[in-house]
Amino acid sequence: MSLLASRHLARSLLTYETAAGKNSEPTESAPSRVFEKLRRPLCALAGVAGFRSLLSRALTLARAEAPSLSAVEIAADGSLQGLDELGPQIDKDKDRGQVNTNEAGAILIANLIGLLLTFIGEAVTLRMLQEVWPKAVFDGPDYGKDRKLEHTR
């Protein structure tokens, strides 16, 4: 699965959470809620230490695109600190020009999902996401092929 696909997945999750947030008064941003929902199953699977290692790598990769993420830190329990406090700043990115920090969360989530896709593959990753967001529909340019394979096993 491509980098594009992991970004598409991240955006799908954010869109879903944003829509869900309109029905209530969330105290956290959509990226924080997506992230928190991902943290629980991943900590159960990999342990807190395992999850923190993955997240640390994802954060490093994401910072290259969104330097404002330098202000974000990983707590001992694997939760993120400082994501909601980034504010409406503008990141200068040498390849992509200006990146709104509102996108920083999406970039971080995309990198985390990208690592999962690399390590455990699309089928297992999508299963895990579906478990967390049972009503979400994950469709994208690269998903169909692997899903078909999965169904024909």
Residues binding other proteins (CB under 8 A): 41, 43-50, 54, 119-121, 123-124, 127-128, 131, 150-151, 153
Planar angle of CA 118, 40, 70, nearest 5 degrees:
65
Task: Quote the CA–CA distance of 48 and 50 in Å, as a whole number.
Answer: 5
Shortest CB 70 distance to other proteins, Å: 26
Query: Cβ 42 to other proteins, closest distance in Å?
Result: 9
Q: Please tell me the distance from the alpha carbon of residue 47 to that of residue 42, in angstroms, as a whole number.
A: 7
- Pick the closer one to other proteins by CB: 2 or 118: 118
Nearest approach, Cβ of 41 to other proteins (angstroms)?
A: 7
For the CB of residue 128, give the shortest distance to other proteins in the complex, in Å.
6
Question: In terms of CB distance, is 74 or 120 closer to other proteins?
Answer: 120
Q: CA–CA separation, 128 vs 51, rounded Å? A: 14
**CA angle at residue 116 from 123 to 37, to 5 degrees?**
95
Q: State which residue, 121 or 141, has the beta carbon closest to other proteins.
A: 121
